[in-house]
């Protein structure tokens, strides 16, 4: 796992290609990341499916309770089938944009 921190956002890149192990590692180290917005870059995992993404539901819920945003960057995904509780975008730039928008919404009290 590669970690890159920029301001109030941490980008975590899966380097092993195992989505379940990646999520498990992040869950184990949750206290290290709970005060940061997270961009989880799994774009290199070409076999990633919607079913795989759904295993991150509990982690996502836990992160939202901390009033932070978690966004996945993935490719080869049908973005129309993604559940509402997950934020999945095709690029890191779009993930950063979503985080900025959600930060503004939280600042405004939404």
Residue 12's pLDDT band, with cuts at 50, 70 and 90, is very high
pLDDT of 16-31, one tens digit each?
Answer: 888 999 999 999 999 9
Q: What is the mean pLDDT of residues 53-76?
A: 93
Domain that holds residue 87: 2-108
Q: What is the mean pLDDT of residues 82-100?
A: 95
- Could you tell me if residue 72 is left (phi over 0), alpha (psi between -120 and 50 degrees) or otherwise beta? beta
Return the CATH number at 11.
3.30.750.24
Strands 2-6 and 9-13: antiparallel
The rounded mean pLDDT for the chain is 92
- Structural domains of the chain, count: 1
């Amino acid at each position: 796992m590669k970690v890159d921190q920029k301001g109030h956002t941490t980008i975590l890149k899966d380097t092993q290609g195992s989505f379940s192990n990646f999520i498990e590692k992040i869950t184990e180290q949750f206290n290290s990341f709970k005060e940061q917005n997270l961009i989880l870059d799994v774009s290199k995992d070409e076999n990633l499916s919607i079913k795989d993404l759904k295993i991150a539901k509990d982690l996502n819920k836990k992160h939202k309770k901390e009033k932070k945003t978690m966004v996945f960057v993935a490719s080869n995904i049908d973005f129309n089938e993604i559940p509402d509780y997950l934020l999945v975008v095709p690029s890191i730039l779009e993930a950063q944009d979503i985080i900025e928008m959600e930060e503004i919404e939280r600042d405004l009290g939404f």
